[in-house]
Amino acid sequence: MSKARVQIPEYAMSLAHVASLRSEDPFRKVGAVALDFDNRVIGTAYNGLAPGFDPPAEFWDDRDKRQRFMLHAEINLCSLFRRGEAKLVASTTMPCTSCMQTLCAYGIKEVYYRDVYHESHASEIAELYGIRFERVGEYPLSGFECAAEQGGA
């Protein structure tokens, strides 16, 4: 007997999760993925520093100080497509207010996230603009970190 086919939000979140593994940020690893109107992957991205920037080792010591220099996964993702090309974005963390505004400007119709970010007005913005906005907590690979820490993956 075959397993049920994974649904698009869970599929997208799995891809966002894998993208988050590339983040260089030791405190918050965020990944994001964009799918087009046929549910094909347009791109994946993660939070981090500008390409080619090699910070001094002490840069990572002060989270509050370095946070203003981090490029958010959603912003990195939007650099990969033009307005109207992407239907949905999945991000491992709820978009911050600024990122949600950017997603609106790019014409995104659906936003899925895993972790709640309490300092965000993303849900209000989504409601105003009629964007589907949902939390996806269970998806393929959602237990990956636990298995990896136990030596199982």
* Mean pLDDT along residues 109-120: 96
Please tell me the distance from the alpha carbon of residue 115 to that of residue 135, in angstroms, as a whole number. 8
| pLDDT tens digits for range 67-113 | 889 999 999 999 999 999 999 999 999 999 999 999 999 999 999 99
Please tell me the distance from the alpha carbon of residue 58 to that of residue 65, in angstroms, as a whole number. 11
Q: What is the mean pLDDT of the chain?
A: 91
Out of 35-39, 91-95, 145-149, which region has the weakest mean confidence (pLDDT)?
145-149
**pLDDT more than 90, % of the chain:** 71
CB-side neighbour CA atoms (13 Å) of 117: 20
pLDDT of residue 153: 37
The CATH number given to 8-149 is 3.40.140.10
| Burial state string for 69-94 with b = 16 or more CB within 10 A and e = fewer than 16 | ebbbbbbbbbeeeeeeebbbbbbbbb
At 144, the pLDDT band (50, 70, 90 cuts) reads: low
* Mean pLDDT along residues 117-124: 95
